[in-house]
A = this chain, B = another copy of it.
Amino acid sequence: MSDTTAGAVDRRRVTIAQVAKRAGVSTSAVSHVFNGRPNVSAATAARIRKAADDLNWRPNLASRKLSGSAGRSLGLVLARSRDTFQRDPFTMRLIAGLTEPLAAIGWSLSMTLVRAEDEAEVYRQWWTEQRVDGFLLVDVRTDDPRTSLLQHLSAPAVMLGSPVPGSTIPAVTVGDADATEALLDHLGALGHRRIARVGDGPTLAHTGSRDARFTAAAGRRGVDALVLDWRAHAEDPVADLLGRLDGATAIVLDGEAIAAEVIAHAPELGVRIPDDLSVVAWEDSWVSSIVRPTLTALDAPVEESARTAVALVERLVRGDEVTDAEVSGRALHVRGSSGPAPSVAPTTTPTQATRATPTEGDR
């Protein structure tokens, strides 16, 4: 590495004035061209664009923002631990899905991970210092303080998930009804009469609504529905969960990370998949295909949700009217982890033997 006197930018930064001069016009002409304003002749516009290109100039975002335009940045604040974030393929898909539509409108994604207790402060800060033009809310909880905070700040925001009653934040929802039916049809056809559902976390808004829909759909079919929670902090969360199955022969889990863990560990606890227990995940990703057996999963149109959310935020920022949106297309991908219900339900109390392979590699 050399002695770059870095920071000491030599060449002064190109400004609109230099571009204007080079093109032989006023700065406002340049501004007009770069903002799609009509009052410039085609010839002049071309000359201006040429000059800008020659100088490799682009409007300075800060100046632009200062004089009223949007800063073209979407804020994504995730209240997750590093660990939870890392093992969540859904978030990866979301981020990947956001960048393309954002780039298409000249925006970028500003993201961060925060501890739950810092969450509100980060939203406040990013908004008041004008770091971002709006936010995308994920992992919305029941009674989430963010909805009122953002309304209070009058910060544009769009959320992923079911609309929150009493909030004016537009929601992008993935229709779950069809998928729930398809899922229960699938498991029903395989002979399962008692099915457990495990949410991502009892405080998450979507957990509750899925629980309700699931229970209702099961009831309609005369199938027993069991709603369980995932105790991430249990000594052995998988064993803990399997111990509470209470005769269920199939289990549906939000999140592939958890589902993958069940698939990986269950055999070591004496529960064979899918022979003893069928496992289905409510999200899908490449992880489903590298576990064995491969994971039957409900694939959500994450990319379309992202695209829709970006469009809504952009409209909000422009001051347009915006309403909730629903994207559909959650599809059931049947793979190896779901199979015929066993004639005898799996042992209610799994072998207490220590796991063959402890959760090494976890951090």
Q: List A residues at the B interface (Cβ < 8 Å).
A: 1-11, 14, 56-63, 65-66, 71-73, 82-83, 85-87, 89, 92-93, 95-97, 99-100, 102-103, 108-114, 122, 124-126, 128-131, 154, 156, 163, 168-171, 257, 260-261, 263-264, 267, 284-292, 294-295, 297, 303, 316-324, 333, 335-336, 357, 359-363
- Report whether B59 and A62 are in contact in the complex, using a CB–CB cutoff of 8 Å: no
Q: Which residues of B contact A128 (CB under 8 A)?
A: 14, 56-58
* CB-defined A-B contacts under 8 Å, sample of 26: A1-B169, A1-B170, A4-B168, A6-B156, A6-B321, A6-B322, A56-B124, A60-B129, A62-B62, A62-B130, A66-B66, A73-B110, A82-B93, A82-B97, A85-B92, A86-B92, A87-B89, A96-B113, A103-B112, A108-B110, A264-B292, A267-B292, A286-B362, A287-B290, A289-B360, A335-B361
With A and B bound together, what is the CA distance between A273 and B283 in angstroms?
A: 29
Given A61-B130, A285-B86, A333-B360; A3-B109 close (CB under 8 Å): no
Residues of B within 8 Å of A124, CB to CB, are 56
Which residues of B lie under 8 Å from residue A363 when comparing CB positions?
A: 286
A288 to B260, CA, bound (A): 12
Are the C-beta atoms of A111 and B112 separated by less than 8 Å? no
Q: Closest approach, in angstroms, between the C-beta of A323 and any C-beta of chain B?
A: 5
Complex contacts, A99 vs chain B, CB 8 Å = 111-113
A6-B322, A319-B8 as given contacts; A126 in contact with B108, CB under 8 Å: yes
Q: Is the CB of A100 within 8 A of B129?
A: no
Report the Cα distance A126→B61, complex, angstroms: 9
| A287-B289 CB under 8 A given contacts A102-B112, A156-B7 | no
A181–B289 CA distance with the chains assembled, in angstroms: 33
Residues of B contacting A290 in the complex (Cβ-Cβ under 8 angstroms): 260-261, 263-264, 287, 290-291
| A347 to B: closest C-beta gap in Å | 21
Contact partners of A72 in chain B: CB under 8 A: 131
Which chain B residue lies CB-closest to A321?
B3
Given contacts A1-B168, A318-B7, A361-B333, contact A286 B87 (CB under 8 A): yes
Bound-state CA distance A190–B6 (Å) is 50
Cα A194 to Cα B211 in complex, Å, equals 54
With the chains together, A260 CA to B168 CA distance in Å? 44
Q: Is the CB of B60 within 8 A of A63?
A: no
Separation of A267 and B92 alpha carbons in the complex (Å) = 28
Residues in B whose Cβ lies below 8 Å from that of A336 = 357
For A132, give the chain B residue with the smallest CB separation.
B108
* Closest partner residue, chain B, to A289 (CB atom): B361
A316 touches B361 (CB 8 A): no
Contact of A361 among B9, B168, B257, B284 (CB under 8 A): B284
CB closest chain-B residue, reference A87: B286
Question: In the bound complex, what is the Cα–Cα distance between A274 and B96 (angstroms)?
Answer: 34
